Amino acid sequence: MSKGPIIILVEPQLGENIGMAARAMANFGLHELRLVRPRENWLNQKTEAAAAGADFVLHGATLYDSLKEAIADLNFVYATTARERGQGKPVHGPTDAASNLKIRIDEGEKVGVLFGRERTGLENSDIALTDAICTYPIDPGFSSLNLSQAVLIMGYAFRLAGNDATLPFGQKTRWPPAERGAVLNFFDYLDEKLEERGFFRPANKKHRMSMNLRNILLRIGMDEQDLRTLRGMIVRLVEGPRVPYSKQRKREAAEKAARDTSQDDET
Amino acid sequence: MSKGPIIILVEPQLGENIGMAARAMANFGLHELRLVRPRENWLNQKTEAAAAGADFVLHGATLYDSLKEAIADLNFVYATTARERGQGKPVHGPTDAASNLKIRIDEGEKVGVLFGRERTGLENSDIALTDAICTYPIDPGFSSLNLSQAVLIMGYAFRLAGNDATLPFGQKTRWPPAERGAVLNFFDYLDEKLEERGFFRPANKKHRMSMNLRNILLRIGMDEQDLRTLRGMIVRLVEGPRVPYSKQRKREAAEKAARDTSQDDET
């Protein structure tokens, strides 16, 4: 028992399209497929390949000799078409159609959506058997929609109309969010190092520049590990490579000498 | 000039999928297609047949050797993926993503949406270059979505965002958003300096650490001024205080001597 609309393909010509339609149905949780007079040998290797594992839809498909038989047990049927047909039927976009289908299914109706032949679509006599038309907000300059793509849009719209529109996952932090005190301490450390390095020029803009930096970095929304990473990055940029302690002492002495030299210049 | 998001296919393998993606784009008025390292001979008879006349999209497609180049002129980029990637990025469904893209385009930004390889999707290092993730409300029991179908859903969602009431305003930056190429160049500079300073330890973790840093910093959503500020901050931390040229020369000489001393120690 499918909880979505039944998808009915009328005289589909290409096995690949049937397979891709089955796959598209499975993507959005539609399970019941009916085929009206598909081309002979429609179920071939290409069909199976295109279904990409949606076998429960493809092999569960039922075949009919006529559209009339295919919709005999249904209560409400949409015809999909890209062109106006002058039949005076209600016309809905996918969102409204899906919402209408959802309400009817919840009330116990059996509902279906018809899709026509690859080249020519549904005939007027097909459409005459349906309750309403569903058409898509397609670019009028390029309205040739692949059959399986048309099925996909219906599945997606129905998914949005249902309770299933929740996403499979949300934004995750791997670590607990950093405590604000630790973040602010990091900013103070950063301010101090930037001050030493002459970042805050002119001096009277220091407060504003420092505030601006906080605003930029707070947009990261740091977790504990992000904070450790950023602090580690700044420490390395400031202190340079880690070296064994004894070598570091010698290097510091040499650097101090260098600094003294340059300070002498400035006096 | 496309008024929709630019569609970027990363290493697509099948010409048919590229053709069908071009057709799906044309269906919903998306015109700009970029291909990153498509398989050799991607443009064949099957591709043309699958495009079904969407030649202006297919033949207008531009090719890139790297994802970095393909997104260099963009301001905002979505990565589409069916799986959570532990990169801490914002996650939007197609409706919200489309609305966000619409607002940004209306404000003059260039925006794009990435789609990954048929079998394996986007790699984590691809996703690390993007601002946010778009995922679809797909049936978790059958989540394998065909590449061109994924493109179609984005086109459809964007089309709906155009007709629907979009929000009156979005998150604002005071300056134009930074171009992605400039941001990625900054990351390369930062990597280089961090490498020099021995940040990437142990060495075999470098790739992961570097990707992680990109993910942290991309969450800022930098505008042009933010990028200048951050670059300025790193430059000052690396180079130390600005000093007049003549003094700088003398200091450099002294520092070189200091370096030589310490290098002698290490031999």
Give yes or no for B254 touching A (CB within 8 A): yes
Q: Which domain holds residue B195?
A: 173-243
pLDDT at B58 over 80: yes
- Per-residue model confidence (pLDDT) at position A35: 98
Nearest to B257 by CA among A153, A4, A86, A251: A251
Evaluate whether residue B235 is within a structural domain. Answer: yes
What ipTM was predicted for this assembly? 0.75
Give the rounded distance of the alpha carbon of A127 from its chain centre.
33
State whether B157 and B177 are in the same domain. Answer: no
Query: B267 pLDDT band (50/70/90 cuts)?
Result: very low
Q: Please report, for the domain that includes residue A141, its CATH number.
A: 3.40.1280.10
Evaluate whether residue A226 is within a structural domain. Answer: yes
State whether B10 and B83 are in the same domain. Answer: yes
State whether B179 and B155 are in the same domain. Answer: no
State whether A23 and A117 are in the same domain. Answer: yes
State whether A69 and A185 are in the same domain. Answer: no
Contact B144 A222 (CB under 8 A): no
Evaluate whether residue A140 is within a structural domain. Answer: yes
pTM confidence score: 0.79
Least confident residue range of A17-26, A120-129, A245-254, B88-97: A245-254
Enumerate residues 6+ apart whose C-beta is below 8 A from A74.
A6, A110, A111, A112
For chain B, the domain total comes to 2
Give yes or no for B202 touching A (CB within 8 A): no
State whether A104 and A227 are in the same domain. Answer: no
**Residue B8 DSSP SS3:** strand
Evaluate whether residue A250 is within a structural domain. Answer: no
Evaluate whether residue B85 is within a structural domain. Answer: yes
Contact B91 A26 (CB under 8 A): no
Q: Say if CB A208 and CB B123 are below 8 A apart.
A: no
State whether B15 and B74 are in the same domain. Answer: yes
Q: Max Cα separation, chain A?
A: 101
pLDDT in tens, A132-167: 999 999 888 898 899 999 999 999 999 999 867 777
Give yes or no for B28 touching A (CB within 8 A): yes
Please give the interface size between A and B, counted as residue pairs whose CB atoms are below 8 Å apart. 225
State whether A28 and A118 are in the same domain. Answer: yes
Single residue among A115, A140, A161 that ends a domain in this structure: A161
Q: Say if CB B43 and CB B147 are below 8 A apart.
A: no
- Per-residue model confidence (pLDDT) at position B261: 64
Q: Return d(Cα A206, Cα A215) in angstroms, integer.
A: 14
State whether A45 and A133 are in the same domain. Answer: yes
Single residue among B161, B189, B212 that ends a domain in this structure: B161
Evaluate whether residue A263 is within a structural domain. Answer: no
Q: Residue B48: what are its φ and ψ, rounded to 5°?
A: -65, -45
Evaluate whether residue A137 is within a structural domain. Answer: yes
State whether B16 and B147 are in the same domain. Answer: yes
State whether A133 and A193 are in the same domain. Answer: no
Query: B142 pLDDT band (50/70/90 cuts)?
Result: very high
Evaluate whether residue B127 is within a structural domain. Answer: yes
**Highest mean pLDDT pick, A258-267, B173-182, B239-248:** B173-182
Kindly identify which residue of chain B lies nearest to residue A155, measuring between CA atoms: B138
State whether A12 and A48 are in the same domain. Answer: yes
- Average pLDDT along chain A: 88
Mean pLDDT for A207-231 is 90
Residues of chain A with Cβ-Cβ distance to B29 below 8 Å are 139, 141
